[in-house]
Amino acid sequence: MVARTKIGLQEAGSSGGVDYRLAREAILAAWREGSLSREQICDSQRELQRNAEFCGTPVGRSCPVCEAQTLVEVTYVFGPRLPKSGRCVTSDREMDRLAARKSVSQGYVVEVCTDCRWNHLTESRAIGGA
């Protein structure tokens, strides 16, 4: 079964991908140094917050900004025959269906804090193409 986490994208029958951990750490370092304000980095949109609250998968670590235990990952997929705004993947079954498609889609995992609104893209990966 495919999980909706970063590992889930890797297991979704895809190859390659981009990991955004270095960019994440650079942003957090700039915030800690005072180059970026909390308002600049904790700026998730309402739809992302709503998806995080109702569809997010807990990651088991605290938020790097506010240290609350409300950090979740939200997975979005964009591609042929999907809504223009993408699809928020809400189940393993849905991810399995997308991974089994002949057309290639692009998956994105965003970590989101439902308390302080921190958000950052953590991974992107091609999905499908079976």
Dihedral angle over CA of 54, 124, 26, 119, nearest 10: -10
Number of structural domains (the chain) is: 1
Q: 68-123: per-residue pLDDT in tens?
A: 999 999 999 999 999 999 999 999 999 999 999 999 999 999 999 999 999 999 99
Which pLDDT score, from 0 to 100, does residue 2 have?
36
Three-class DSSP category at 120: strand
Q: Does residue 16 lie in a domain region?
A: yes
27 — alpha (psi -120 to 50), left (phi > 0) or beta? alpha
Q: Does residue 115 lie in a domain region?
A: yes
Q: Does residue 105 lie in a domain region?
A: yes
Which pLDDT score, from 0 to 100, does residue 82 have?
94
Please give the angle made by the CA atoms of 98, 90 and 101, to the nearest 5 degrees: 5
Is pLDDT at 13 greater than 80 in this prediction? Answer: no
Domain that holds residue 33: 6-128
120: number of Cβ within 10 Å: 20
Is pLDDT at 42 greater than 50 in this prediction? Answer: yes
Q: Does residue 1 lie in a domain region?
A: no
| Joined tokens for residue 124 | 């992107």
Kindly give the pairing relationship between strand 104-113 and strand 119-128: antiparallel
Q: Does residue 99 lie in a domain region?
A: yes
Q: Does residue 28 lie in a domain region?
A: yes
Which pLDDT score, from 0 to 100, does residue 110 have?
97
Q: Does residue 93 lie in a domain region?
A: yes
Q: Does residue 112 lie in a domain region?
A: yes
Which pLDDT score, from 0 to 100, does residue 9 have?
59
